[in-house]
Amino acid sequence: MKTKSFLRIEEYKKLAELTINGNILDVGGSKKSGYHELIKGNHKIITGNINSSYGVDIIFDAQKKWPFEDSSFSCVLFINVLEHLFDYKTAISEAYRVLENGGRVAGVAPFIFNVHGSPSDYFRYTRFTFERIFTDAGFKKVEIKELGTGAFSIVYHTLIGFVKWQWLADILIFICRKLDGFLLFVKPNNKMSAKFMPLGYYFEVKK
């Protein structure tokens, strides 16, 4: 999938590694979401959003009780949505409720990223926050992966609005990867590495 966003490239890579069999609930998603086709397995994806204009299967507020029975899904997706939920604890609790035993939550969220809408932007979560809120909600296994490679990828993402052509974006992303790789080689775990300043996070947790 072509995109000028360094973060989305990294997100799509992780989603392409995901295999789910069964029903998937995409919270805050859309029937037009391009990442659905990346997920492997024999599954059916149901999209839910508070805004009907996105084109969804069901309209609901993720910050209130969800209109689904207990243990209805094998997977719940939170793709760039948790930062928009002020009452994220309710959403995570509801995800736990509607998941079958052994079911998973998978998602991504930005960290070094501009303030954006749809409809509001409230939070930036760290690895430690994700580990805490999912564990507190009852999930047993929490895996977190930093997305983004360091200083140069952050600079690129800051200036992405000025990158007009996809071919130019591809070249700049390639150069940024190489430069960030060099910095990591010169000084592993430097304070501008992905470990300390990621563009975002991928999380996968198991009930």
CATH code, domain with 53: 3.40.50.150
% of the chain surpassing 70 pLDDT: 99
What is the CB neighbour count within 10 angstroms for residue 65? 11
Report yes or no on 46 lying in a domain: yes
pLDDT at 188: 80
Report yes or no on 162 lying in a domain: no
Report yes or no on 119 lying in a domain: yes
Report yes or no on 66 lying in a domain: yes
Pairing of strands 200-206, 99-110: antiparallel
Q: In the chain, how many domains are there?
A: 1
Is residue 193 over pLDDT 90? no
pTM: 0.90
Report yes or no on 181 lying in a domain: no
State the Cα–Cα distance between residues 173 and 177, nearest whole angstrom: 6
Report yes or no on 131 lying in a domain: yes
State the Cα–Cα distance between residues 1 and 5, nearest whole angstrom: 11
pLDDT at 186: 86
State the Cα–Cα distance between residues 139 and 54, nearest whole angstrom: 30
Mean pLDDT on 187-204: 84
State the Cα–Cα distance between residues 8 and 97, nearest whole angstrom: 29
Domain around 18: 6-149+198-206
Report yes or no on 90 lying in a domain: yes
In tens, the pLDDT along 196-205 reads 889 999 999 9
In tens, the pLDDT along 10-56 reads 999 999 999 999 999 999 989 888 899 999 999 999 999 998 888 89
Report yes or no on 156 lying in a domain: no
